[in-house]
Every structure is written in structure tokens, then in C-alpha cells.
Amino acid sequence: MALSSQDFSNLIDDRPEDGMFRVHRRVFTDPEIFDLEMKYIFESGWVFLGLASQLLANHDFFTTSIGRHPVLVTRNGAGEIGAFVNSCPHKGARICQHEQGNARLHVCPYHSWSFDSAGKNRAIKGKAAGAYSEAFEQTNHDLRPVGAFGNYRGLLFGSMSADVPSLDEYLGDARPLIDLIVDQSPEGMELVPGAVGFTFDANWKLQLENCSDQYHFSSVHPSYLQVLERRAEKEYDGSTQNMWDVKKMAQVEPGVPTGGTYNFHQGHVLNWRMPDSPEALPLYERRDELAERFGEAKRDWMFYSRNLTLFPNVQFAENASSQIRIIRPLAVNRTEMRTFCMAPIGESADARRRRIRQYEDFFNPSGLATPDDTVVYEACQEGYQSEAEPWLQGYSRGMCASRAGPDPFADLIGLNPASSVAADRFLSDETIFHAYYRAWRARMMSAGAVHTGLVEEVAA
């Protein structure tokens, strides 16, 4: 049965005038919805691919995906970066089998067709003896470029569709938040060697939400908080210190804003809070330099704990350390995550050591946080199977604190969010999720109109 635009509209109960925002459980469990998400959100819009700093030398490459399409991102011999469908035009096999590397030629493992780092077909095995037709000779045998490809300050994005807004329009008012990341070094950001991939048996939107969810922290991560308490009682070297201090947390007065959330029109969101111990940050060693380059307000914002999500597939978590999280949906109830530690290019050896130790402490399946989160994702997915009460109520905290436009903290660095919440550490705002589902609904209503029209056309 085709889902219409009205069906998708009805799955998000968004009535701000009545103080109501709810999401239907079907959004997380329906395979037909998932298929349309892949086509109209992950393949027809901009998604994050990686960093230009992963491609420092000519012929460097890395592989990733846009929805269900395998993608090869490579720097050609002239130094230009491009993105191509990583599928041989001959029989469709995935050509490049490696996550990253350097190669002038990529050779298909099935029949040895070869392609250069600009995606051009360089050889067809046994072509002279192939008795090919004139039509075949006139066919383009190069790798297919993705529909759209863009670079914002070293962050690479792509889409399978050419019919997308400009990259600047897509990033919109979230661009200053990307600048907070990139400007931490005059040379930009790089990935610390090593990457982690893992899966969980739950819908991709649970990861989307959790990175922005402050409400779960004390419930899901008590072991991490206990470790922080023990460290506060003893002397540890700088690499095990953290911007969060449990003693200082306990001293914060209710009602005093120490953080907040921002929603942006394109579905991007940010949650942030002031650090308890900024001197524990690897970046703190450059405090004077950053203040001189950008002013104290922007420098202080770089020290804030920030979780930025660019809808739909990338999250920049700058809290315990600095992490990039790339979301790849595999099925309605299965998601793959690829995570990387990122760092300012040129930071000192001591700062890099501290960053890596703090990263290991909190992130990845071996850390003190990620395993807790993935367990509760799967618990949610199991619970979604019941529609005895179909509407989820986890989107209401903060509705009476939300205001249109920026707040005084956003004004300090010229941020212009669609809405904002400035709060103490007890509020744990949930209106931050509204931007996700408004963007989701807009994309899916468009999909519903096309999908229903196609069904009606076939029926006619």
C-alpha cells in the first residue's frame, strides 16, 4: 500500500499552539517507510562523506556510501577531489575494496576493468578480442559521478541527486558551528589514525536523537559518573581529567543557564553546555592564541561541550573528546556506525595524547558510554513493536522554555537558529528533536506525493 503525503503528516503530531509534539512508533518500525527514507532522505539530499584532510596526496582515496550506493571519494592526479559510484559499469561489482589508501588505478576484482583516480575507464580486459558492437564502443565506460558533490571548509558532502539546494543553503545557519570546529587550528581538522565500525539492532533515528539527548545521561551512564567521582577524590595525570566535574555539577544552582539547545530550519541541531573544567581540554593550551584570532566569545564557545548534528547522517560530538559519528542505516531495525577521533592539525604531542586518552575513556564500543547507548537503542526498538499506545511522548521537555530565534548566548557568535532554549543542567530539553522530525516530515511528505503519484500512474 502506497503511503501518501497525508500519511507522513499524520505520523508527526506537531501542534505548538496546543503545546503538543509526538512521534508515532511506526516511524521506527515500518519497512516501507525505511525504503522511502533511503531514497528521499539519504539518496536525494546532501549527506556527509568525510574530510578533505583524508585525501592529502594526489590519488588518495576513501570509500563510504550514500544511502544504498557505495561511493569512492578520491583526489585525482591534478589534485581535484571527486566522488563516484563505487560500482563497475560492466557487472556492477564494488571496485575498490579498501576503506582508504592511495592508488592511481582501481581494478575491478571480477573482470579487471580499470579506472583512474579521476573515475576514467583506462582499460577493458581483452577489449581487442571482444567483438564488441558499435553501440558498446560509443557507451561511456567511466565511473558514474555522484549527482552533487560539495566541500565546505574541508567537510565533504554528496548526493545521488543533482536536484538539491546549494551546499551553503543546506548547511544554512549551522555553518558558524562548523567554523567553531574547523577554526581550532589554522590548518583545519584531521582524523586521528584509526577508525571504529559497529552495528546495533535498532532504527537509525535512535542514534540521531541520542547524541542530542541530555535527559538520558545520568540514567544510562552511571558507571561513567562513578568513575568521575572516584577521579575527583584522587590525583590523576592530565590525560584522565575531563571537562565534567561531578563536584562542580552538584554546586550549580537550579535556574541558572549553563547550556542550551538550538534548532535550525534544515533539520540540524546543537546541544551545548559550559564546561566545569575547561583547563582539562586538549584545546586549552591554545586559549590565548584563539582569543587573539577570534575574540574571547568565540574562543569560549570552542571550549563549550557541543554536540552538533547535521541532518541526516553526521554528528560532531565535542564533549569528552572530539568525535565524528557517521550514521548508515542498513534496515529498519539495523544501523551501522563509523566513528573517528578528530583533532586540530598541529596540536602539541601532549594535547594529542590527552585527546586520545579522553576519547578512549568515553567513546567507541570499548568506552564507558557507547555500549550503554546501544543497549537502550535495542530496548527501544523492542518496545516499539507494541502499538497499544502508538504515540511516543519523549518530545515535550522544554516546550515552555523554547523561544523563536537566537538567545543571548547565540548572539555572542552570530548564530541564528530557528528556535533556542537556554537552560540549567536539570531541564534536559527535548524540543531539540523537533527540527529532526520537521525536516523528516517535509522530505517524506514530498516522497509520499511522488510515491502515490507513481502508484496511481501505474494503476491507470
Q: pLDDT (tens digit, 9 = 90+) per residue, 286-316?
A: 999 999 999 999 999 999 999 999 999 999 9
d(C-alpha 205, C-alpha 26), whole Å: 12
Q: Over pLDDT 70: what percentage of the chain?
A: 92
Residues paired with residue 12 on neighbouring β-strands, in sequence order: 23
Contact 147, 164 (CB under 8 A): yes
Model pLDDT, residue 452: 52
Question: What residue type is assigned to position 444 of the chain?
Answer: M
Question: Binning pLDDT at 50, 70 and 90, where does residue 458 land?
Answer: very low
Average pLDDT over residues 125-144: 97
* Cα dihedral sign, 437-440-446-452: negative
Question: What residue type is assigned to position 189 of the chain?
Answer: M
d(C-alpha 445, C-alpha 330), whole Å: 22
Least confidently predicted of 38-47, 148-157, 277-286, 402-411:
277-286
pLDDT tens for residues 235-265? 655 555 665 555 555 566 676 788 999 999 9
Average pLDDT over residues 88-98: 98
Question: Binning pLDDT at 50, 70 and 90, where does residue 4 land?
Answer: confident
Predicted TM-score of the model (pTM) = 0.92
Question: Binning pLDDT at 50, 70 and 90, where does residue 225 land?
Answer: confident
Least confidently predicted of 84-93, 98-107, 446-455:
446-455
Model pLDDT, residue 256: 77
CA-wise closest residue to 72 among 98, 38, 91, 51: 98
Model pLDDT, residue 455: 36
d(C-alpha 60, C-alpha 66), whole Å: 19
Question: Binning pLDDT at 50, 70 and 90, where does residue 224 land?
Answer: confident
What average pLDDT does the chain have?
Answer: 91
d(C-alpha 251, C-alpha 424), whole Å: 12
Buried b (16+ CB within 10 A) or exposed e, 131-141: eeeeeeeeeeb
Model pLDDT, residue 17: 95
Model pLDDT, residue 342: 96
pLDDT tens for residues 13-23? 999 999 999 99
Angle at which helices 296-303 and 287-294 cross, to 10°:
130
Model pLDDT, residue 229: 75
pLDDT tens for residues 142-197? 999 999 999 999 999 999 999 999 999 999 999 999 999 999 999 999 999 988 99
Model pLDDT, residue 459: 40
d(C-alpha 234, C-alpha 250), whole Å: 18
